A = this chain, B = another copy of it.
Amino acid sequence: MQLLEERILKDGKVIGTEILKVDSFLNHQLDIRLFNEMGKEFKRLFADKEITKILTIEASGIAIASIAAQYFDVPVVFAKKYSGTNMDKDNYEADVFSFTKNTMYKIKVSKKYINKEDKVLLIDDFLANGRALLGLSSIVTQAGAKVVGAGIAIEKAFQNGRLEVEKEGMLVHSLATIVKMEEGKVYFKED
């Protein structure tokens, strides 16, 4: 998606060869106009799929998923990483290792909000090692529901996330796919 790639080139900050900071528009300050264009593009990419629910993960996925949900006209559920005392006790759970934060955490979704008839689109900001998507997919599977696919804003194709999730047969569409980062520059996959 050209608009997103241009924005990454303009405002993304490359640190070393692994880290891309996009907090000025994607995961701390949020450019909602851009998110609307991204939502339309997700709808175009998954136009032929029946989708009943969007599942994402707190915190950075929530805004992207919520804006996109308007084009699918379905509810969003977000998996919780940090559950308060008000959280249901009856949850689907999965362990997810975060390379960014260097910790394992448990994600939880109340059993009430995914049921076996659901056809679920996963949405997240980044695909890197694929651990978040695998955790979300595990939760959908535990519910007896179906993962229709995953919509990702930015894929780091030089990490093994796509490989890991495609092993499970997951259809993945990324709006911007980065093949290399080097000396402060971002290189996108050619169409």
**Number of residues on chain A facing chain B (CB within 8 A):** 44
Total copies of the chain? 2
Task: Decide yes or no whether A6 CB sits under 8 A from chain B.
Answer: no
- The reply to whether A113 and B75 form a contact with Cβ atoms under 8 Å apart is no
Task: Decide yes or no whether A143 CB sits under 8 A from chain B.
Answer: no
A106 partner residues in chain B, CB cutoff 8 A: none
Interface centre among A86, A101, A112 (most CB of B within 10 A): A86
Dominant SS at the A interface? mixed
- The reply to whether B19 and A76 form a contact with Cβ atoms under 8 Å apart is no
- The reply to whether A78 and B112 form a contact with Cβ atoms under 8 Å apart is no
Task: Decide yes or no whether A46 CB sits under 8 A from chain B.
Answer: no
Contact of A62 among B23, B29, B63 (CB under 8 A): B63
Looking across the interface, which residue of chain B has its beta carbon closest to that of A23? B110
Task: Decide yes or no whether A24 CB sits under 8 A from chain B.
Answer: yes
- The reply to whether B59 and A28 form a contact with Cβ atoms under 8 Å apart is no
**A50 → B minimal CB distance (Å):** 18
A36 partner residues in chain B, CB cutoff 8 A: 70
- The reply to whether B31 and A75 form a contact with Cβ atoms under 8 Å apart is yes
- Asked, given contacts A24-B113, A59-B58, A63-B62, whether A29 binds B86 with beta carbons under 8 Å apart, the answer is no
- The reply to whether A28 and B101 form a contact with Cβ atoms under 8 Å apart is no
- Asked, given contacts A30-B76, A86-B23, A101-B84, whether A35 binds B66 with beta carbons under 8 Å apart, the answer is yes
Task: Decide yes or no whether A32 CB sits under 8 A from chain B.
Answer: yes
- Asked, given contacts A85-B100, A86-B100, whether A28 binds B113 with beta carbons under 8 Å apart, the answer is yes
Looking across the interface, which residue of chain B has its beta carbon closest to that of A72? B32
Q: Per-position contact with B for A38-62: 1 when CB-CB < 8 Å, else 0?
A: 0000000000000000000011001
Knowing that A21-B86, A23-B86, A62-B62 are A-B contacts, what are 12 other residue pairs whose CB atoms are under 8 Å apart, sorted by A's residue number?
Answer: A23-B88, A28-B80, A28-B109, A32-B70, A32-B75, A33-B73, A58-B62, A62-B63, A63-B76, A66-B67, A67-B70, A82-B101
